[in-house]
Structure 1
Amino acid sequence: MKRKEKRSCRLILACCALLLFISVNAFAQQQVTVTGNVKDEKGEPIIGANVIVKGTGTGSVTNVEGDFSLANVQNGSTLEISFIGYLHQDVKVNGTKHVSIILKEDTKMLDEVVVVGYGVQRKSDMTGAVASVNTKTLENRPQTNIIQSLQGAVPGLNISVTGTNAEGSSTKTRIRGENSITADNKPLVILDGIPFDGPWSEINPNDIESIEVLKDASSAAIYGARGSNGVILISSKRGEKGKLTISYDTYITIDNPINFPNLMNGAEFWKYKTEALKDANTTPPTESNPEPWMGSMTVTELRMHEAGMDTDWLELATRTGFKQQHNISFRGGVNKTNYFVSLNYTDVKGTAVGNQFKRYNIRFNLDQEFTSWFKFSTSTQLGRYDRSGSSASFSRAFRMNPLAEAYDEEGNIRSAAWEDSSEAFSVNPLSSLNNKSNDIRSKVIT
């Protein structure tokens, strides 16, 4: 009797376990409607986040409040929530329980987000070629002119130096080559979302956060015909949440001109010219004029030769160049306010006498968040640029007669260095130093 009772109890327990398994399995197979909300770590709703039922094509996106709703979702399945710049997160569906998700920022993913036109896009989604330059590249190549820092650093960006001056503005920039014979072939430059058409030297390299170069014709789809020669996108630094960060950097550079050609001195030039005149002069010598070729020598040449003097024009027209740049910046953020302020002073004295450039820049970038849907941002640059004066002429110094004179008896710079019939060869390479000009300009970019 006892054995029969034990068997009956075991049978009852087995039936109960079977019924429990069937009910749980039936619950797991049921279809439910899932609702939820997606926010970031600051508690702000994320608009447009993707919510997908893993392993299926069913999905939705969050609205302006960060809410989403998915109908006919199998209970127990997994939801995958993702958004550009944030780490993916998986959530298990537990009946009709409301789901709350907080996505964390993915710094690695943010590095792959580039500025395109007036928005952002992942590099992997770009159909055109994009080359990026970060802050470290610019810091390792300190230059007065930012375009000189990019020389050789960006594939497809051709920068050629067409001259030399303190400002460093004698350069030619091309992305897609020469597309037109008569039209301008320079690329379109966008500084913080605004077309920039000024000299590169007016931008403080220390203010730059990143540079993107759109090289393919697809850039024209964003900027129209102005982007047909390529686009250079420049983004300045902005404030960051956290304590105030103060940065100061400076550099001083000394420049010396090198690799000068070996030019003739006064004695060598006199010998060369007299031999040439003797060969070219057909007038026979006489007692009164034993050297008829002497009549082809100018008064200045005769005076310089008889005094045993000559002029080293390259020495007079060049000097040791000097650059100094000082930059201080303040970067931080409090509550819903981010700020970046920088002050820059640059003083450059070129290797040509009289060639100089000074820059005073103040940048103020502010991001203020009033509500989740109302934000205020500004990018403002105040600049003062001093390009006063004129520099000595390198090209004339290379061609000038070493038996010509730079200064008159009173020590003033002569307009004509000697009595040559050709004005192009007689102009004193230092004569431009007599020009008195004040080229000081102020500019506001906002």
Structure 2
Amino acid sequence: MESKNRSLKWRNSILRCLFLSLFFSSTLITFAQVNVSGKVVDATGETLIGVNVVVKGTRQGTVTDIDGGFTLSVPSANSTLVFSYVGFREQEIPLNGRNFVSVTMEQDTELLDEIIVVGYGTQRRTSVTGAVSTLSDTELLKAPVVGVTNVLGARVAGVTSLQQSGQPGQDAASLLVRGEGATYIVDGVIRSINEIDPNEIESISILKDATSASVYGLNATSVVIVTTKRGKDGKLGISYNGNYGISQNTNQIKWLDGPGYAYWYNMAREMDGDEPVFTSEQVEKMKAGVDGWGNTNWYDEVFGTGSTMNHNVSATGGTEKVKFFSSLSAFQQKGNVDNFNYTRYNLRANIDAKLTDQITMMMNVAGRLDEHDRPNYSANPNDWHNIPQQTVRALPYIPKTITADDGKEYYTSTHTASSPVSPLAAIYESGYNRPRNTTIQTNFSLNYDAPWMEGLSLKFMGAYDKFFQFNKSLTIPFKTMIGALPSATTETISYT
């Protein structure tokens, strides 16, 4: 008996030690992460959106929100945070036990001698008194971009981008600069900027204050100035740039399947004091896909994976007298929904010629051909019976196709509170809409440097744009099989 009692005591001691060790280890794990928050501003006190905040030596990080704030879990209260942002010096801030930090980002001093474009010419950054932000071509091309406006909101302080559509060719973002709309200038002329190939752009300047109104009028509360690339003297240089990417819906929404829909529909009716509609036998038929029942995830059937592809070939060269830059690019988008496609071809030629010692000529010619291809039913949220709307209203206990009495297979439709919906038939059988746009843009300028006064110059500039549109559409009447609404006694769903 004594030996047994000793063994039991020994075992109890071991169990206590194991329990205490597990308790302390879990406590250490629980308190290993420390939550840190903070705010990031520039030298003027303006909040910076999209600043990268990373724990030094790790890949753990976040970005600042619209108010310049951030929250991050760090390994310890003595970790070091690294702050980086385009156009500003990278900073390392030790926490030293703090759980809140205020950071003021300083502009990169190496950029102070940078030549930037403003409304009345070019200046060194150190001479600019207004609020101006710039984005160079290397910063613009750091990552594949769909359009110019889509990248400005993420990389320039005080600029917010709003993308209202994800359709190929219609996914350009609108920009708000300090809460106001912007005027867009391309090589001195008011034009749209999102259809420009980013490979053609030399720099982008954003005028954010009264400087804009002083040059472009009171309606221009802010101005986005795009300067395209110019030729360089020397041997002919040819470059190629290409990228490929895929796209998916950011938030993959999870929808009820057929059995799940039946359960919650019955539950809602019971809470209202009504009899349930769906029986267990009907649910089994949904799973088996028999007698007209089905189990269709319409969201997965409609939304898939899209792709984006861009190829660009550019050439530059010339002499001290004549220089040129030319660019040819092809851009293609395949939508997340089948039969939504967009293709764009860009061509640009910029020529600089020194006619005399005082007279310089500049000529720009740009052409663009863009083609849209979509079903007769659109994906615009404001359009009646748009495809996403049909997708979310389709009932999941109906199969996507059914074989009719004539032996042919048809897409199914489901009843709604208004008209029946059939998202797959709307995509594949409704016809098509294919607008094609052709745009030609030209600039011409002569610049005269007055020999009798240093710094005085006279400039004449003219522009001519031409736009053509050809729209080809086909509406096809199509047949679907509409499933009848079931009751508790329904064994086989009938279709008409």
Fold conserved between structures, TM > 0.5: yes
Q: What does residue 103 of structure 1 align with?
A: none
Structure 1, gaps ≥5 residues long: 1-107, 179-185, 284-290
**Residues 338 and 366, structure 1, Cα contact 8 Å, conserved in 2:** yes
Which residue of the other structure, out of 118, 130, 133, is the alignment partner of 1:131? 133
Question: 2:226, 2:170 → 1: CA distance?
Answer: 19
Q: 1:58-77 maps to which residues of 2 (within 5 A)?
A: none
Which amino acid counterpart does residue 443 of structure 1 have in structure 2?
T
Q: 1:111-260 maps to which residues of 2 (within 5 A)?
A: 112-167=114-169, 169-178=171-180, 186-197=181-192, 200=194, 202-228=195-221, 230-257=222-249, 259-260=251-252
Which amino acid counterpart does residue 144 of structure 1 have in structure 2?
V
Pair 127,432 (structure 1): closer, same or farther in 2 beyond 3 Å: farther
**Residues 159 and 177, structure 2, Cα contact 8 Å, conserved in 1:** yes
Which amino acid counterpart does residue 337 of structure 1 have in structure 2?
V
Q: What does residue 443 of structure 1 align with?
A: 439
Secondary structure of the 2:153 match is coil
Structure 2, gaps ≥5 residues long: 1-109, 380-386, 443-496
Q: What does residue 397 of structure 1 align with?
A: 391
State the shift of 1:349 in Å. Answer: 0.7
Question: 1:366, 1:265 → 2: CA distance?
Answer: 61
% identical equivalent positions: 28
Does residue 263 of structure 1 match 2:255?
yes
Which amino acid counterpart does residue 194 of structure 1 have in structure 2?
V
Question: 1:127, 1:193 → 2: CA distance?
Answer: 21
How many residue pairs match? The answer is 314
State the shift of 1:109 in Å. Answer: 9.6
**Residues 161 and 175, structure 2, Cα contact 8 Å, conserved in 1:** yes
State the shift of 1:115 in Å. Answer: 1.4
Question: 2:114, 2:254 → 1: CA distance?
Answer: 53
Bigger Cα Rg: 1
Does residue 344 of structure 1 match 2:329?
yes
State the shift of 1:138 in Å. Answer: 1.2
Question: 1:109, 1:357 → 2: CA distance?
Answer: 38
**Residues 405 and 418, structure 1, Cα contact 8 Å, conserved in 2:** no
Larger strand percent:
2
State the shift of 1:420 in Å. Answer: 2.6
Does residue 312 of structure 1 match 2:297?
yes
State the shift of 1:345 in Å. Answer: 0.5
**Residues 144 and 167, structure 1, Cα contact 8 Å, conserved in 2:** no
Secondary structure of the 1:436 match is strand
Secondary structure of the 1:380 match is strand
Q: What does residue 19 of structure 1 align with?
A: none
Question: 2:191, 2:415 → 1: CA distance?
Answer: 48
Question: 1:360, 1:151 → 2: CA distance?
Answer: 25
**Residues 138 and 205, structure 1, Cα contact 8 Å, conserved in 2:** yes
Question: 1:292, 1:255 → 2: CA distance?
Answer: 40
Secondary structure of the 2:423 match is coil
Question: 2:157, 2:112 → 1: CA distance?
Answer: 22
Question: 2:172, 2:239 → 1: CA distance?
Answer: 31
State the shift of 1:403 in Å. Answer: 2.3
Q: What does residue 329 of structure 1 align with?
A: 314
Question: 1:116, 1:222 → 2: CA distance?
Answer: 9
Which amino acid counterpart does residue 354 of structure 2 have in structure 1?
E
Which amino acid counterpart does residue 339 of structure 1 have in structure 2?
F
Question: 2:228, 2:264 → 1: CA distance?
Answer: 59
Does residue 363 of structure 1 match 2:365?
no
Secondary structure of the 1:358 match is strand
Which residue of the other structure, out of 421, 427, 444, is the alignment partner of 1:427? 421
Cα RMSD, aligned residues only: 3.0
Q: TM-score if structure 1 supplies the norm length?
A: 0.64
